[in-house]
Amino acid sequence: MKTFVLLARAGFRRHSTYRLALLAGMTTNCVFGFIRAAVLLAALASAGTSIGGYDAPTTIAFVWWGQALLGTVNLWGFAEVKERVRTGDIAVDFLRPVDPQITYLAGDLGRAWINLLGRGVPALLVGALLFDMAWPPSAASWASGAVSVVLAVVVAFAGNFIINLLAFWLVEIRGITLLWMITGGLLCGLYLPVPWFPDWLRTIANWSPFPSMLQNPIDILAGRVVGADIASTVGVQVFWAVALLVLGQFVLRAGRRRLEVQGG
Amino acid sequence: MSIIETRDLVRDFKKTRAVDRMTFSVQPGEAVGYIGANGAGKSTTIKMLTGILKPTSGHVRTCGFDPMRQRVEVARRVGVVFGQRSQLWWDLPLRDSFEILGAIHRMDEQVTRARTDLLVEQLEMGPQLGTAVRSLSLGQRMRAELAAALLHSPELLILDEPTIGLDVLSKQRLREFLVAERREEGTTLLLTTHDMGDIERLCDRVLVVDHGRLAFDGTLNGLAGTVGAQRIVVIDLAQPTPDLVDVPGATLIDSESDGLRQRFAFDSEATTVAAVLAHVSSRHEVRDLTVKEPDIEDVVRRIYAASGRG
């Protein structure tokens, strides 16, 4: 546990050294926040007062929580592990008495925390100051929302970790990464709330892990999901977090066997 | 108990046999140089010793454990430095890497700090502790890698080309540190290198590997003796002098500029540089003297030639 905390702190510090990147990220998040808020409010106005349980204040909350969590949850993925597999540096990870997946997860939680503080909270404040935004309706919503955000970070990490590990078998995984980004960006509810999707697309989304990376925490924090529904929303995330981490362990082991057989 | 033990260790890659029935053992406290040409099987052996690579057949034990099955046990007892790879956190201050590694090895925080302080002092890295690893010079980084590998006080230190690319002074500091570290901690050392200086200063035993096979196992002097590698001494004289053919224990190779410069070859067993110099300077005025040690490539080449390869 102490090891985990220290590794998370290291992730936090690594990413906090790039202050300019944080500032640039925050600015981008804010600009896109304005654009998305304008577009979605216009769509809402033309459709009536509410779509799929979202009225104007919850739509604003959807937009700005989305912008706030965009850097926190690593939706676009990372290339560090892929690079280490490609260069063979992954061998160094296997020479340590710790599990590589847990090590990288800890680092990613640290990265998420600095991004939440450095990019997320400022973006959220901008949205809150300039728009009429719905807030979590209760302390329970705040608390379960926080848990849900952590789970979203874990699900996104676990999925991306598996994608990175494919580098054990494929020379180039850029195509797969791109596919993941496009599919994930749409299905996680970044562009449009998942409840706004046509039925068939919503069904696909709900069978995928992607809403667990963004839509679920936003639903709780925007107050669209309340009461007993919170448990099932978080439950789905727990399922995907566990499933993807376990799958990741299998892929990691297979990757290590490949290294053992082929040399690294 | 041996720190390293291999018996009939074999590793095949698709069509080639990288390691061929390798059998050797290393006792606690030994310092072993592991040398051979590129592709001779050095790195493959090290990967099998550390559990990164699975042997095709044969027996291997590191610190008494099976590296494939007991990877974590081995990782706790072994420190590894790959000259070409880094175990430090690139974008963090150096200090943080030690802190994280301490946690990874489940060391008590106070122990980590004391051990870091000691290593940092011995390696003279104090001023670099606050520097991001990516900003360190190669020499500084290699010293940091060494400290990182030794942080958890491993029983066995494996160095894969630790001095590659370093300048003379950096090499010197690294070697001095390793000598002192081993004297105090008794750490067992396995070292691969292309640098004869590393072997001479650090190792009391040499393993030469050729096409995956152990071609020699013994002392460095024994190695030079086996293949007849001779030391060369070049003497510059004040006056043109006829060829000195009567120096005891040494053979004249050639002379230049009417005998102003004369080159001798000799065997360490037969005579010494001092004796050669004393003999020559008692008869002629000597201006300068250089000694050329047999180099590792040369020795290895001779071993290969003797075993009918190369």
Concatenated DSSP letters for B217-248?
Answer: EE-HHHHHHHHT--EEEEEEESS--------T
Mean pLDDT of A5-31: 87
CB contact under 8 A, B75 and A97: yes
Q: What residues of chain A lie within 8 A of the CB of B44, using their CB?
A: 263
Please measure the distance between the N-terminal and C-terminal CA atoms of chain A and give it in whole angstroms: 30
Enter the tokens of residue A52.
């799929």
In this predicted structure, what is the pLDDT of residue A174? 87
β-bridge mates for residue B10, sequence order: B57
B302 within some domain: no
* Interface residue of A17, A95, A259 to substitute, partner B, most B CBs within 10 Å: A95
For residue B243, which of B232, B234, B230, B252 has the smallest C-alpha distance?
B252
CA distance B86 to chain A (A): 8
CB contact under 8 A, A10 and B92: yes
Q: What residues of chain B lie within 8 A of the CB of A17, using their CB?
A: 91-92, 132
For residue B289, which of B261, B266, B270 has the smallest C-alpha distance?
B261
The closest CB to that of A96, out of B53, B75, B96, belongs to B75
**H or E element in which residue A192 lies:** none
B257 within some domain: yes
Domain-terminating residue out of B198, B225, B252: B225
DSSP A120: I
The closest CB to that of A10, out of B53, B54, B96, belongs to B96
CA distance A138 to chain B (A): 39
B299 within some domain: no
DSSP B138: H
CB contact under 8 A, B86 and A89: yes
β-bridge mates for residue B81, sequence order: B159
Percent of all residues in chain A with a pLDDT value above 90, rounded to a whole number: 59
For residue A55, which of A176, A181, A201, A224 has the smallest C-alpha distance?
A224
Mean pLDDT of B1-20: 91
CB contact under 8 A, B53 and A259: yes
Note whether B235 and B259 are within 8 A (CB): no
Q: What is the CATH number of the domain that holds B87?
A: 3.40.50.300
Computed over every residue of chain B, the mean pLDDT equals: 88
Helices marked H in A95-227? 100-115, 121-130, 139-165, 174-187, 199-206, 215-221
CB contact under 8 A, B103 and A261: no
| B89 phi, psi to nearest 5 deg | -90, 110
Q: Note whether B78 and B191 are same-domain residues.
A: yes
Reduced to 3 states (helix: H, G, I; strand: E, B; else coil), residue B157 is: strand
Q: Quick one: pLDDT band at residue B310, thresholds 50, 70, 90? A: very low
CA distance A189 to chain B (A): 33
Residue A171 CA to residue A188 CA, distance in Å, equals 28
B31 within some domain: yes
Q: Note whether B52 and B114 are same-domain residues.
A: yes
CB contact under 8 A, B85 and A88: yes
Domain-terminating residue out of B225, B245, B272: B225
Residue A166 CA to residue A157 CA, distance in Å, equals 14
Enter the tokens of residue A84.
């280490």
pLDDT tens digits for range A30-54 = 899 999 999 988 888 888 888 888 8
Residue A101 CA to residue A46 CA, distance in Å, equals 47
CA distance B164 to chain A (A): 18
B308 within some domain: no
Q: Given CA atoms B100, B101, B102, B107 in this order, what sign does their dihedral have?
A: positive
CB count within 10 Å of CB B230 equals 20
Q: How many domains does chain B have?
A: 2
Q: Note whether B202 and B144 are same-domain residues.
A: yes
Q: Note whether B65 and B131 are same-domain residues.
A: yes
Note whether B3 and B63 are within 8 A (CB): yes
In this predicted structure, what is the pLDDT of residue B308? 60
Enter the tokens of residue A190.
């970044």
Reduced to 3 states (helix: H, G, I; strand: E, B; else coil), residue B260 is: coil
In this predicted structure, what is the pLDDT of residue B301? 76
pLDDT tens digits for range A222-256 = 999 998 999 999 999 999 999 999 999 999 999 99
Reduced to 3 states (helix: H, G, I; strand: E, B; else coil), residue B249 is: coil
Residue A208 CA to residue A203 CA, distance in Å, equals 9
pLDDT tens digits for range B279-289 = 888 888 898 98
Q: Note whether B157 and B272 are same-domain residues.
A: no
Q: What residues of chain A lie within 8 A of the CB of B68, using their CB?
A: 260
B255 within some domain: yes
Q: Measured in whole angstroms, how far is the alpha carbon of residue B142 from the centre of its chain?
A: 14
Q: Note whether B202 and B86 are same-domain residues.
A: yes
B31-35: strand order across its sheet: B78-82, B156-160, B188-192, B31-35, B205-210, B213-218
Pairs of CB atoms within 8 A across A/B:
73
The closest CB to that of B85, out of A92, A103, A257, belongs to A92
* ipTM of this predicted structure: 0.78
Q: Note whether B181 and B276 are same-domain residues.
A: no
Q: Note whether B82 and B141 are same-domain residues.
A: yes
Q: Note whether B190 and B56 are same-domain residues.
A: yes
Q: What residues of chain A lie within 8 A of the CB of B80, using their CB?
A: 92, 95
What is the residue range of A57's domain?
Answer: 2-262
Q: What residues of chain A lie within 8 A of the CB of B87, using their CB?
A: 92, 95
CB contact under 8 A, A92 and B87: yes
Mean pLDDT of B19-47: 90
Interface of A with B (CB under 8 A): 2-3, 6-7, 10, 13-14, 17-18, 87-89, 91-92, 94-98, 103, 257, 259-264
Q: How many domains does chain A have?
A: 1
In chain A, the residue whose alpha carbon lies closest to the alpha carbon of B41 is A263
Q: What residues of chain A lie within 8 A of the CB of B17, using their CB?
A: none
* Interface residue of B43, B44, B46, B47 to substitute, partner A, most A CBs within 10 Å: B47
Q: Note whether B40 and B187 are same-domain residues.
A: yes
Computed over every residue of chain A, the mean pLDDT equals: 91
B300 within some domain: no
DSSP A194: G
What is the residue range of B253's domain?
Answer: 230-293
In this predicted structure, what is the pLDDT of residue B20? 92
Enter the tokens of residue A155.
């699900």
Q: Note whether B84 and B118 are same-domain residues.
A: yes
CA distance A162 to chain B (A): 20
CB contact under 8 A, A98 and B53: no
DSSP B35: E
Domain-terminating residue out of B225, B244, B270: B225
Q: Note whether B23 and B157 are same-domain residues.
A: yes
Enter the tokens of residue B253.
């190779």
The closest CB to that of B47, out of A13, A98, A263, belongs to A263
What residue has token string 């201006």? B287
B123 within some domain: yes
pLDDT tens digits for range B217-268 = 998 777 767 766 677 889 898 888 888 888 888 888 888 888 889 888 887 7
